Amino acid sequence: MNRAELDAIDLMLRDLNTRHDEIRHRAAFRGCTRELLTLQDELIRYLKAKREDLNGR
């Protein structure tokens, strides 16, 4: 198991689950809020699956 990779995934998940008002305001201004949130959800699902794979080794 690669502990550094798991730590990096955990940090990314924590960051993705944090509300970033500045980014959300920019997305709203550009009219892509829905797309931003969809991409964020996809990244969270991918990282959780990757973390499960690494823990299962």
- Our count of domains for the chain comes to 1
Domain extent for 16: 3-55
Angle at 41 between CA 8 and CA 6, to 5 degrees: 15
pTM: 0.83
Residue 1 has pLDDT above 70, yes or no: no
Nearest to 48 by CA among 14, 23, 2, 4: 14
**Digit-coded pLDDT (tens) for 3-46:** 899 999 999 999 998 888 999 899 999 999 999 999 999 999 99
Kindly report the length of the chain.
57
The vertex-57 CA angle with 46 and 11, nearest 5°, equals 45
- The angle subtended at Cα 21 by Cα 27 and Cα 10, nearest 5°, is 100
Start-to-end CA distance of the chain, whole Å, equals 6
